[in-house]
Amino acid sequence: MIVAEQKSVEEIRRVIAPYDTVLLLGCGTCVTVCGAGGEREVSFLSSALRVAQTKSSDAIHSLVEYTVKRQCDFEFLHVLVDRVKEVDAILSLGCGIGVQVVAERFSEIPVLPGVNTSFMGMTKEWGVWDERCTACGDCRLAETAGICPITRCTKGILNGPCAGTKNGKCEANKEMDCAWVLIYKRLEKLQELEKIRRYYPPRNFRVIPRPRRIVVKAGSEPGEDNG
C-alpha cells in the first residue's frame, strides 16, 4: 500500500490561495487506509480550512468535497466531469500518482497536491505505518529471509550487517532494528545461514531507466510513448 501524509493546513492554504472555488478530492484506496486522504480527511481538511478563513480576513474560498474510489484510473474520474466545470482548481488528496492522473484527465485546470506521498508500506498498528519496499525492480527477498535490506537497512547495503550495528539496533537510529540482524536471526531459524555467508555483488542501478513501464500484452514494443 502507498503511504502518504497530509500536508500542513498552512501549506495547503498557501497553494490554494489564488483560486476561488476548490475541489478537495479524496481517494478511497491507499490514502484512505493510511488516514491521509480518505473521505474523513477530506472533511477534516475542509473544516480546518473553513476555520482558517473565519479566523483571518484572507480570501474566502468556496470548498467542494468529493471522494472517488481511486484516483489512479481515468474511469473513476468520470463522475467528476460536471463538478470540475464549476471549480477553479482541484486539490487532490490522492498519492502522487493520483494527482498526476487527475491532472492528465482534467488538463484545463490546475491540480494541486494535498498530501506528501511517502513510501510503500504496511500498517504496524492503528496510527503507525512502516516502510517496507522501495520498488527497486530487482527483488532479492529470497536471499534475505523475506526482509528487505534495501528498504530497511539505512545504508541499503546488500552484504550486511555493517559495523554500525549495536545490540540489534542501527547506529543511525537507536530505536530502529538493524535489518541485517533481523535477516540473520530469521535465516538461522530457517536453517539457511549459508545464504548470509555469500557475497552479493553490487546491484546494477542501470536496470532502472525511469519512468518504468510494464507491458504484458502481446504485440507492442516497450518504451514507446511513455508519458
Q: Give contact residues for other proteins (rule: CB under 8 A).
A: 8-10, 13, 28-29, 32-33, 35, 38-41, 43-44, 47-48, 50-52, 54-56, 67, 69, 123, 125-127
Identity of the residue, 54 or 204, whose beta carbon is nearer to other proteins in the bound complex: 54
Q: How far apart are the C-alpha atoms of 164 and 155, rounded to whole Å?
A: 10
Residue 133 CB, nearest approach to other proteins (Å)? 19
Identity of the residue, 127 or 222, whose beta carbon is nearer to other proteins in the bound complex: 127
Identity of the residue, 56 or 107, whose beta carbon is nearer to other proteins in the bound complex: 56
Angle at 41 between CA 35 and CA 44, to 5 degrees: 140
What residues form DSSP beta bridges with 130?
122
Residue 48 CB, nearest approach to other proteins (Å)? 4
Residue 217 CB, nearest approach to other proteins (Å)? 28
Residue 73 CB, nearest approach to other proteins (Å)? 15
Identity of the residue, 55 or 174, whose beta carbon is nearer to other proteins in the bound complex: 55
Q: Is the separation of the CB atoms in 22 and 91 below 8 Å?
A: yes
Identity of the residue, 47 or 159, whose beta carbon is nearer to other proteins in the bound complex: 47
89-92 and 62-68 beta bridge pairing: unpaired
Residue 123 CB, nearest approach to other proteins (Å)? 7
3-state secondary structure 12-54: HHHHHCCCCEEEEEEECCHHHHCCCCCHHHHHHHHHHHHHHHH
Angle separating helix axes 39-55 and 9-16, nearest 10 degrees: 70
